Amino acid sequence: MAVMSIVKINVLTVPEEQRETLEKRFASRAGSVEGSDGFEWFELLRPVEGTDTYLVYTRWRDEESFQKWMSGMAQASHGGGGEGERPRPAASGSTLWSFEVVQQAAPQQ
């Protein structure tokens, strides 16, 4: 069976007092991934109950597209003017999960 896309889920541990900061940071970088070759979808998922774990869901055409975007992000974060301190991370922990999409469905029109 052919792989349709790949999914990367960044699992972020975010203390209650940092939730608003995290969401504002994601909102302020809106558009930073949408123009990337191979990018298909993004969602920031806020926990509703019983956990302090946010999920950052992105879907890509293939692993190569994701890796190309990641290497561009690494260059962007390590380049720059170096003025001022970088803001403290809102998340206290991060894990990256990787999946292949083998089945999908959409609402019938």
Domain contains 95 = yes
Of 10, 17, 31, residue with least CA distance to 90:
17
Residue bearing tokens 């380049």: 79
Containing 23, the helix (H) or strand (E) segment is: helix 19-28
How many domains does the structure of the chain reveal?
A: 1
- The band of 33, judged by pLDDT with boundaries at 50, 70 and 90, is confident
Name the pTM for this structure. Answer: 0.81
CATH of the domain at 26: 3.30.70.100
pLDDT exceeds 60 at position 84: no
- Read off the pLDDT of residues 38-74 as tens digits, 9 standing for 90 and up: 999 999 999 998 899 999 999 999 999 999 998 887 6
Domain contains 30 = yes
Domain that residue 47 falls in: 5-72+91-101
Q: Which two tokens stand for residue 99?
A: 């999946």
